[in-house]
Structure 1
């Protein structure tokens, strides 16, 4: 699988392109060398045959037919290995002289050249060989064939062709190996960048991409990315500091204002004044819940993956949350279905997980109409533990499913309902800390209302895997992992330090 992924990398594909170009160049070069070598040897053979023909023609002119027959016989006798081929016949193909008996059958060119095999068909008694000859007519109706044994030349050509084929194969193998090694080295450098980037995205903002000190392209890229990360972290810290400062600074006067309004509510006798003071207290509670949610999300995002991770029974945790919210569901006459597999363990922060589960169940109850259906499920699939909440409410449009995790984002249909758009932001932050993911889908696809199904998938607990976590502190000096979850009031009112659990719909 890892090899296949490496073959898909752009560096390997680029190396493969270079390999094709290089192999094509080598092939053209070897083909040119073969063409020139084979052509030279063939031309040399033809020149030898032409020289013998010229000598025989001279003998024929000076000594006639008998002299031609005599010289052919002499040459045949001096050449026991039959490197030269001769055959002189009458017009009726009756042999007069030569070292073969009959005319060979072969492809004959217009110039009189012929390629054939020396075998029994031409009266050859030795091993089969390849030959090349030229045929022409002599005055008086005689026919003459003069040729050469080209078996060695043919074998030499085959040796050259085999060498070229092996050379091409070795070239391709070396080019492929070189491309693989080059792409592997490049992929390793890129994978270091990808691995560090993924850890940074998971909350380890202090990490930086390592360099080798070679000042090559990858080092320059890593340094630029590190400088960009430094700038991003600086800007994020500035924004977070401003938002946290605002939330901290405003929460105290808001708390005093709420307490004063509550004291006023208890001291006045006028019904209208009491009603107005009660609404003001409710608005102050909403504002305080919003600030508390912002501060809690900021702490979670700053914490990254350094929460107090311990084995947690997900099914038992969800059971506790369901018991807390069943009464609220019964008030709306909703059908509350539970399907909880037993012994589903995960590694996490129980307080944070309980807050996440509570937010999702509270959202489902809030956005499901009376006599609607709410389903809560816990199951294990492979190496993942899944917590799922489904409802029959207004749902979330597909084009907005990726945006609902943003702070203060609310779907248009839900703006008339209470909430501040921070519920799913908190759920997303908790899920990221636990290395999980969130999947949103319609409960009843194609129907109205479609409902909403939220599935939180997290790694199941593996006892063999041990995580080393270091304690970190927040701005107040207290350990980040020591932040406790405030109790959730299923009636809808949150305490001053609790996180508002409304959804962002």
Structure 2
């Protein structure tokens, strides 16, 4: 037999488990209440018997006869009558109507194999047997005086408690199972919607998103996380597509030029040795350019994979930037530019020294390459509360505001930079290294010129 799907869901099983726990707790509560109520009712019967017996003992100690008093009380019994018995020292009954005589004093339970009549038990149900609670005491003259009460009232209370808990347990179980079914149906609807969206996405529609209703539960959080993952996946796929197009576009020209150059030399009948050497030299230069591009792409991919985090170590960033400033200051001077440094000492952090060096080298060389003669470039590092800020700025032509968010794309180059050497991957590598180290990087206006601000997550001692 196939179990309905709604009964196989985790939510229904959880509801069934809660129903079972509710049933167990109800059973435990029933046992406690039943025991306390039974003990209380039994104690009330004992107190009634004790009070009645004490009253009869006072009569026995007085001038009146005990047997006539017992007969009078039997005749005037109310809705729940007492049963009496007076026995002599030999156990022979002298007076009373107790159907079964006790054999010794004390509180005891007598079971009669037959039911008392309705006349003897007014309002009591017909039952196959009768249970009496008897209290017997020995009088000073050796006689045994007994007083008894029918326990059917206590039995009725016990049965009422059992019925109440049975109905409560049944109602609670039914409500729990009904709630489990309703909860499971709602859960299945949301899971089906989730599976539908995933199937659409698996079909290649990466723009599909999982509907979230704002309930704030675990499935809502799962949907939001999946949507965020899909946003990143879609952006990665778009980036991959853009990279593929850019690679095809940027490598097609040098490879075509290389092919045309080699074919031209091959077809030229009067080509000299010098022509072949020039063609080979040009081919090597074009091949090196292509290989450098692929090497940069592989390096960026390696950085973005996060594998370089294994090389993180404590380093003195201030000393590193001081060294770069001293290295590139003569280079800038040779290019008719100036490089100034404003570096606060003693700033350290944890990172990959080689990659951070490459990051600042690319920023400095980018400023040297794309600014005119006479430009002033500045390299700065300072603490900003618990964070630290590094800046590479210049007073050159800068970058238009609309282009600043695009400069970290692979192969992206401004129109004004098309004539300068390069593959357009330098700032892409800067972005990858910054992401690896958790650095927030901002490209802004230096008024005039360009300012690249890097905010490191925390500053610590080297």
TM-score interval for Structure 1 and Structure 2 normalised by the shorter chain: 0.3 to 0.5
The structure with the larger Rg is: 2
Q: TM-score, normalised by structure 2?
A: 0.47
